[in-house]
Amino acid sequence: MQFASARIITDDVDRSVAFYERLLGQQAERPAPVFAAFRGSSGTLAIGHRATVPVPGFAASHDGVLVELQAETPEAVDAVHERMRDAVEVVQPPTDMPWGNRSLLLRDPDRVLVNVFAALQ
């Protein structure tokens, strides 16, 4: 088995897609109004409306979910911060972590934590 994707469930797909398009600098694939996908070499980040999970009583809870996006350089992490800081909640500005990464923590429109990081080298 191999990793295929992670899907964020939301009530506002368009709002979430706009956030991730801005963050990733990439257009989402939109095969249906209730679903979008950002494909990368290591897997796919999908955005789906609650209707895409037809489970009675299902409620999306994003506690404990952390989307991690690896930038190429520590300077790229800083550039993401500059691009996003006025548009979203910055939980932690770019910070050098003791394990050797530069890390930026943001919240997406559904309050999912997003970690943008790069190795300090």
pLDDT tens string 37-47:
999 988 999 99
Per-residue model confidence (pLDDT) at position 26: 95
Supply the pTM of this predicted model.
0.83
CA distances from 38 to 17, 42, 105 (A): 9, 11, 20
Per-residue model confidence (pLDDT) at position 1: 57
Domains and CATH numbers, the chain: 1-52 (3.30.720.120), 64-121 (3.10.180.10)
Mean pLDDT within 80-102? 94
Q: pLDDT grade, residue 56 (50/70/90)?
A: confident
Per-residue model confidence (pLDDT) at position 61: 72
Q: Summarize pLDDT for 4-34 with one digit per residue, the tens.
A: 899 999 999 999 999 999 999 999 999 999 9
- Say how far apart CA 51 and CA 35 lie, in whole Å: 10
Sheet holding 35-40, edge to edge: 5-10, 43-49, 35-40, 29-32
